[in-house]
Amino acid sequence: MKKYFSLVALLVISFSIANNGILKAEDSSLSSAPLAGPQDKNLGIGPVKKLVLGPIDKKMVEEGKALYTAQCIVCHDMDQKKIGPALKNVTKMRTPEYLMNVLLNSAQMQKEDPTMKALLKEYNNMPMPDPGFNQAKARAVVEYLRSVAK
């Protein structure tokens, strides 16, 4: 009998969690966060104030791809929204400084940067975890993202 009750309780709890999830998902599809477009000049907030890009560096692309596969694919798809936004053309929409600062200083960006704040809201207040990168690793991932942009 006791077993039966805890099973019912478990069902009720999991149902309400699932239901909540569905409601949240609906909310997010309705929201249209004021995201910046392709001309975005936002540099973000963090250690990288200026980054001048040269021609694509193949070695960095390889390193970035490996890091991306290990740490980013779980939440980001190239072409469509997953847990986080699609990243294929993110290097065309955002400045390299912003992208570096997202990777190096995500917590402060989520609190203070207007673009990141809007994204956080759009993605159900699911904060992207700090990937724990140094600048070289962040830079390699940015290079990989440049290489996939169309």
Question: Which residues contribute to the site for ligand HEC (CB under 6 A)?
Answer: 68, 71-72, 74-76, 83-85, 87, 90, 94, 99, 102-103, 110, 115-116, 119-120, 123, 126-129, 131, 141
Give whichever of 61 and 102 is closer to ligand HEC, judged by the CB atom. 102
Give whichever of 48 and 72 is closer to ligand HEC, judged by the CB atom. 72
Alpha carbons 100 and 48: distance in angstroms, whole number = 7
Give whichever of 10 and 83 is closer to ligand HEC, judged by the CB atom. 83
Residue in the block written with tokens 């993110």: 90
Min dist CB 107 to ligand HEC, Å, is 9
Give whichever of 60 and 90 is closer to ligand HEC, judged by the CB atom. 90
Are 38 and 134 in contact by the 8 Å Cβ rule? The answer is no
Q: Which ranges constitute the DSSP H helices of the chain?
A: 2-30, 58-71, 90-93, 96-104, 106-112, 114-122, 135-148
Min dist CB 37 to ligand HEC, Å, is 11
Q: What are the phi and psi torsion angles at 38 (to 5°)?
A: -60, -25
Min dist CB 140 to ligand HEC, Å, is 10
First to last CA, the chain: 61
Min dist CB 132 to ligand HEC, Å, is 9
